[in-house]
Amino acid sequence: MNFCSDNTTGVAPAILAALAAANEGRAMPYGEDAATRRFEAKMRELFETDLAAFAVMTGSAANALALACLAPPYGAIYCHAGAHINEDECGGPEFQSGGAKLVGLTGEHGKLDPRTLSEAFKHAGKGDVHRVQPAVVSITQASEAGTVYARQEIAAIAAVAHEAGCALHMDGARFANALVHLGCSPAEATWKAGVDALSFGATKNGALAAEAVILFDRTRAAEFAFRRKRSGHLLSKMRFVSAQLEAYVTDGLWLALARHANRCAAELADGLAAIPGVELRHKVEANEVFVTLPEPALVGLESAGFRFYRWHQGPAGTVRLVAGFDTRPEHVREFVDTARRFCREASRTT
């Protein structure tokens, strides 16, 4: 009954089976294999465009390598102050880029606001040798607050970014969860809305360790290949990463897995919101629920065996609950029931 994070999940059965299947015989190393060719073709098909696709094994690598290809060492990367790249990767983008600067902007519900961005650019000192130079805007889809950028919101940010000469990067660690919410095509949610580079996450949603960097603008593809190798992210037995990604997008598996997780999160949110004294912090649009409960209810849930993270933002009693592709509906119901019970008791005793 672990609601800590979707990265506590294991591997979806179809993906594990694909790994086993990929183990037939020998294959040439470093991506010179058939599985990698198929993964690349799948990506082009999925996004309905020519593109360069590179597989790596962590989201941190995907983000930092993509950003390093888009920003010079004296560049600035604009993002939400709470973005994973800014807060949770131990300076990974700074490292891979050779010291680019992340500029964290505030924004409601985990989302970057195009007006805030536009305002920031006004003071960015474009062309001023004393200032780091605007190079990339990075947004997280779904956001760190579990909200999802609408296509028009992406397009509005893309317009501001491109106007400033910046590329638009999307950290799609939970891209599948966002796409299920949007209900549009992968192309519509990305390059058609102005996204230049996408970190296409699979690990949180059922892969063992597999993320793809999608460069819709192929001009940086050669550079990416060298940066990936140089940073130790080119696997010799690459077929086993490619096979995960191939299986992930085959027959809509990725969307089915995300749909399940989103549904569990929605049920959690609906159930909890109906409890007096419980307050949702953000709209639940993907697979994450940020919610404030009375402290005794949290203690009760913990003692009942539920695991989740106390959140560092929001009022006391705020927690994050994440549903995964494998979350069991009965655990969701049990969580809500337990929360309701402890909240009721808590309200009685006060």
> Nearest distance from residue 187's CB to a copy of itself, in Å?
27
Residue type, 285: E
132 DSSP assignment = P
Judged by CB under 8 A, the stretch of 6-14, 43-51, 136-144, 192-200 that binds a copy of itself is 6-14
State which of positions 92-111 bind a copy of itself (CB under 8 A). Answer: 92, 94-102
Interface mask (CB under 8 A) for a copy of itself, residues 165-194, using x and -?
Answer: ------------------------------
> Which of 26, 348 has the CB closer to a copy of itself?
26
Interaction between residue 229 and a copy of itself (CB under 8 A)? yes
Q: How far apart are CA 69 and CA 100, in angstroms?
A: 11
131 binds a copy of itself (CB under 8 A): yes
Distance of alpha carbon 146 from alpha carbon 116, whole angstroms: 20
Whether omega for the bond prior to residue 142 falls within 30 degrees of 0, making it cis, is yes
Does 27 participate in binding a copy of itself (rule CB under 8 A)? yes
* Contact in structure between 278 and 343 (CB atoms under 8 Å): yes
Q: Out of 129, 152, 315, 348, point to the residue binding a copy of itself (CB under 8 A).
A: 129
In angstroms, give the least distance from the CB of 112 to a copy of itself. 18
Identify which range of 105-113, 177-185, 186-194, 236-244 contacts a copy of itself by CB under 8 A: 236-244
By CB under 8 A, tell whether 318 contacts a copy of itself.
no
**Structure letter (DSSP) for residue 27:** -
Q: Least CB distance from residue 60 to a copy of itself, whole Å?
A: 4
Contact status: 140 vs a copy of itself (CB under 8 A): no
CA-closest candidate to residue 98, choices 236, 223, 234? 223
Residues 147-166 close enough to bind a copy of itself by CB under 8 A = none
Cα 226 from Cα 234, distance rounded (Å): 9
Given the DSSP bridges, would you call strands 318-322 and 288-292 parallel, antiparallel or unpaired?
antiparallel
End-to-end distance of the chain based on CA atoms, in angstroms? 29
User: Is 16 a binder of a copy of itself (CB under 8 A)?
Assistant: yes
Q: Does 303 bind a copy of itself (CB under 8 A)?
A: no
- Pick out residues in 64-93 that bind a copy of itself (CB under 8 A): 64-65, 72-74, 87-92
Task: List, in order, residues 6 or more apart from 125 with CB less than 8 Å away.
Answer: 131
Comparing CA positions, the residue from 336, 322, 323, 317 lying closest to residue 271 is 336
Among 60, 205, 292, 338, binds a copy of itself (CB under 8 A): 60
Residue 309 found at the interface with a copy of itself (CB under 8 A):
no
Phi, psi of 289 (to 5 degrees): -125, 120
